A and B are shown apart, each in its own frame.
Chain A
């Protein structure tokens, strides 16, 4: 550890113990142990800091379920058994969350209409992108219920990690979009509201839309849009509310990464974006950090292995020395990647967890990770 590193050590326990922190968002690119980190943090908050905690995961691979030893998760928080505290876990059911939003914002007759619309059916279950909207919606729901002392969120495995941040703004922008107003206009005011907007390009445009999309799809679509119209205010308001939650001081963002070039690049991008959005970045969690136990350099080790191999015998020692040398090389490469991040983002607090020989499947494994997060080597 560098001399100044102690000052920039991420104090995970201070965050988890702080009653002023009500939401912890774990973000970062795929494959860096985000879900495990989220689960380990939640478990530690519940067990060590006595907080009534819920962890929300949005991952279709059910990784959280596995690492919590649960057979299945559903759309409402379920108590995690066998722990010394109050921890609930849930996995986002995108379609059900969408249905709930519709029901919450419209009367049952309208809702039935919406559910029956093929466009809604496709959008709520099949199309990508909806996941991000619904993740934010679920977070908003959990926050508004005031039932939880701490909510830990594992973000979706997005095409880009930023989709998660952008979802509320994009939804709001979409709902405010002129295009949507145009599609709605005939339903609203017999087409009259369009008059002001009609331009030469639009006249042609509406023809193109008709021809490209086709009359049947267009009518399903405008049916869907008209049905949603009654809920737009509610949707937008909620999206904006969630965005504000992400900005407020009760939220702590943790960027999770592995010391690999791609993952750290993504983390740096995230750190910058959070800054731009005035969202509170609490620090960086580095997983999969290779550690060595023996004080031998790669060169010494390889030279020794070569000498032994030439002499013959001690084949196992030769192999052990090669294993060690490969580890040292990885450590050197990881250190360079970490140093690069440090230079680009001085002052971002950091904690690290050593690479585990095997995956985390159980609560004890999560406890070990939680302890490592709190006490970096």
Chain B
């Protein structure tokens, strides 16, 4: 069965980056935490030193194209960036319909008949009646890319999946197991089981991106619990948008602030002093919350990586900064 093949693939852990041993890196996070940016930075990081990685997305959002500021991605693995040391990142927007046609073509040599299926509404049918089938096709394609070889060697050192958000991740990754249960035999069962096995093997790591805000941290904890219950391995907790803590001394009085401003040659009128004082107080409130949340994340028992806030927004240089931080944290 597929197990022998799986075992041989599992033994190929060589060539992975220290601290990032998995081959399939699934990046999830609550909406708005920057998971697409982190996925892109991770694909860059893992491609350094002449490696090749594949960055994929499955939700039809064209998020990768937006991060790299390029035209919308086709259903093709195209080079999207080069990494230091001659490495390259390829990108792929997986489309369920295309994946189904490709799958049918591969196993049943459909050729042009596949197009006829589309006209017939069959593809629409297959991806609509069973949104689950859709997820099987999407994860199936990702698995295929992860395990693909060329000339007896893995084509990609690592595959990074910009996955659905935390609220849907367990359902998305478990759908293959669910389908395997549903289809008691036949190719769908084989396919689903193959995907489910990879997702539960050390080859896979699910990284959860969060901010130091209450809801993202809560959803991170929920997702870690759900995935753990499903036997899907958790990689790292990645905290995005962190700032170096300042005002270590805590409170500052308005009088003290006024003296400081005077010494700096800045205005010391009421608006300035009271305004700055108010901002400092709000900052301290937020920092205290952030410290509590850091503690909650640490309790999840997974390695935590912090990425800096990029005040200018994320451009190519910003991605490189994040990639370096991810590698350093490995």
Q: Which residues of A contact B (CB under 8 A)?
A: 29-32, 59-61, 63, 118-119, 122-123, 126-130, 157, 159-160, 170, 173-174, 177-180, 199, 201-202, 204-205, 208-209, 211-217, 220-221, 258, 260-263, 265, 292-296, 300-301, 304-305, 307-308, 311, 313-324, 326-327, 329-330, 333, 357-359
Whether the Cβ atoms of B32 and A214 lie closer than 8 Å is: no
Chain A minimum-CB-distance residue to B61: A160
Contact residues of B between 207 and 259, Cβ < 8 Å to A: 213-216, 218-219, 222, 243, 246-249, 252, 256-257, 259
Measured CA separation A199–B261 after assembly (Å)? 84
B304 at interface by CB-CB < 8 Å: no
Q: Mark B16-45, 1 if CB is under 8 A from A, else 0.
A: 000000000000001111001000000000
Instruction: Tell me which of B36, B174, B276 contacts A324 (CB under 8 A).
Output: B276
Instruction: Tell me which of A202, A213, A220, A308 contacts B260 (CB under 8 A).
Output: A308
**B311: which A residues are within 8 A, CB to CB?**
326, 329-330, 333
Known: A201-B116, A296-B276, A359-B214. 15 other contacts (CB 8 A): A29-B32, A122-B178, A123-B131, A205-B113, A205-B122, A213-B188, A265-B66, A293-B276, A296-B272, A304-B261, A307-B265, A314-B260, A317-B252, A319-B280, A322-B246
**B289: which A residues are within 8 A, CB to CB?**
357-358
The count of A-to-B residue pairs whose CB atoms sit within 8 angstroms is: 245
Q: Mark B117-138, 1 if CB is under 8 A from A, else 0.
A: 1001110110011111011000
B275 at interface by CB-CB < 8 Å: yes
**A30: which B residues are within 8 A, CB to CB?**
30-32, 165, 167
Measured CA separation A292–B188 after assembly (Å)? 57
Whether the Cβ atoms of B129 and A180 lie closer than 8 Å is: yes
- Tell me how far the C-beta of A231 lies from the nearest C-beta in chain B, rounded to whole angstroms: 15
Chain B minimum-CB-distance residue to A118: B182
B323 at interface by CB-CB < 8 Å: no
**A127: which B residues are within 8 A, CB to CB?**
130-132, 135, 171, 175, 178
- Tell me how far the C-beta of B141 lies from the nearest C-beta in chain A, rounded to whole angstroms: 16
Whether the Cβ atoms of A119 and B182 lie closer than 8 Å is: yes
10 A-B pairs (CB sep. < 8 Å): A170-B128, A178-B121, A179-B122, A204-B113, A213-B188, A296-B267, A316-B260, A317-B263, A323-B246, A333-B312
**B252: which A residues are within 8 A, CB to CB?**
316-317, 320
**A359: which B residues are within 8 A, CB to CB?**
213-215
Chain B minimum-CB-distance residue to A307: B264
Whether the Cβ atoms of B279 and A317 lie closer than 8 Å is: no
Chain A minimum-CB-distance residue to B281: A357
Chain A minimum-CB-distance residue to B285: A357
Whether the Cβ atoms of B32 and A159 lie closer than 8 Å is: no
Measured CA separation A216–B261 after assembly (Å)? 78
B68 at interface by CB-CB < 8 Å: no
Most A CB contacts (10 A, CB to CB) among B110, B125, B216 go to B125
Whether the Cβ atoms of A217 and B285 lie closer than 8 Å is: no
Instruction: Tell me which of B129, B186, B214 contacts A216 (CB under 8 A).
Output: B186
Measured CA separation A163–B134 after assembly (Å)? 14
Measured CA separation A261–B283 after assembly (Å)? 24
Most B CB contacts (10 A, CB to CB) among A122, A308, A316 go to A316
**B246: which A residues are within 8 A, CB to CB?**
319, 322-323
B194 at interface by CB-CB < 8 Å: no
Whether the Cβ atoms of A323 and B247 lie closer than 8 Å is: yes
B84 at interface by CB-CB < 8 Å: no
B151 at interface by CB-CB < 8 Å: no
- Tell me how far the C-beta of A31 lies from the nearest C-beta in chain B, rounded to whole angstroms: 2
Q: Mark B260-300, 1 if CB is under 8 A from A, else 0.
A: 11011111000111111111101101100100000000000
**B171: which A residues are within 8 A, CB to CB?**
126-128
Measured CA separation A313–B261 after assembly (Å)? 12
Whether the Cβ atoms of B286 and A217 lie closer than 8 Å is: no
- Tell me how far the C-beta of A168 lies from the nearest C-beta in chain B, rounded to whole angstroms: 13
- Tell me how far the C-beta of B278 lies from the nearest C-beta in chain A, rounded to whole angstroms: 5
Measured CA separation A16–B289 after assembly (Å)? 34
B185 at interface by CB-CB < 8 Å: yes
Instruction: Tell me which of A29, A126, A300, A319 contacts B266 (CB under 8 A).
Output: A300
Whether the Cβ atoms of A293 and B260 lie closer than 8 Å is: no
- Tell me how far the C-beta of B263 lies from the nearest C-beta in chain A, rounded to whole angstroms: 6
Whether the Cβ atoms of B186 and A32 lie closer than 8 Å is: no
- Tell me how far the C-beta of B285 lies from the nearest C-beta in chain A, rounded to whole angstroms: 4
Measured CA separation A322–B134 after assembly (Å)? 49
Instruction: Tell me which of B31, B104, B174 contacts A31 (CB under 8 A).
Output: B31
- Tell me how far the C-beta of B116 lies from the nearest C-beta in chain A, rounded to whole angstroms: 4
**A308: which B residues are within 8 A, CB to CB?**
260, 263-264
Whether the Cβ atoms of A205 and B165 lie closer than 8 Å is: no
Measured CA separation A308–B125 after assembly (Å)? 68
Instruction: Tell me which of B124, B134, B183 contacts A214 (CB under 8 A).
Output: B183
Contact residues of B between 181 and 215, Cβ < 8 Å to A: 181-189, 213-215
**B266: which A residues are within 8 A, CB to CB?**
296, 300-301, 304, 321
Contact residues of B between 291 and 322, Cβ < 8 Å to A: 311-313
Instruction: Tell me which of A60, A213, A357 contacts B186 (CB under 8 A).
Output: A213
Sort A-B residue pairs by CB-CB distance and give the 8 closest, nearest first: A30-B31, A31-B32, A214-B186, A317-B260, A294-B275, A129-B131, A293-B275, A179-B125
Measured CA separation A138–B184 after assembly (Å)? 33
Most B CB contacts (10 A, CB to CB) among A30, A123, A215 go to A30
Whether the Cβ atoms of B282 and A212 lie closer than 8 Å is: no
Most A CB contacts (10 A, CB to CB) among B113, B165, B257, B279 go to B279
Whether the Cβ atoms of A212 and B104 lie closer than 8 Å is: yes
Whether the Cβ atoms of A357 and B282 lie closer than 8 Å is: yes
Instruction: Tell me which of A174, A305, A317 contacts B256 (CB under 8 A).
Output: A317
Whether the Cβ atoms of A295 and B271 lie closer than 8 Å is: yes
Chain B minimum-CB-distance residue to A308: B264
Instruction: Tell me which of A204, A263, A317 contacts B261 (CB under 8 A).
Output: A317
| A61/B247 contact (C-beta < 8 A), A313-B263, A316-B256, A317-B261 known | no
- Tell me how far the C-beta of B14 lies from the nearest C-beta in chain A, rounded to whole angstroms: 35
Whether the Cβ atoms of A159 and B61 lie closer than 8 Å is: yes
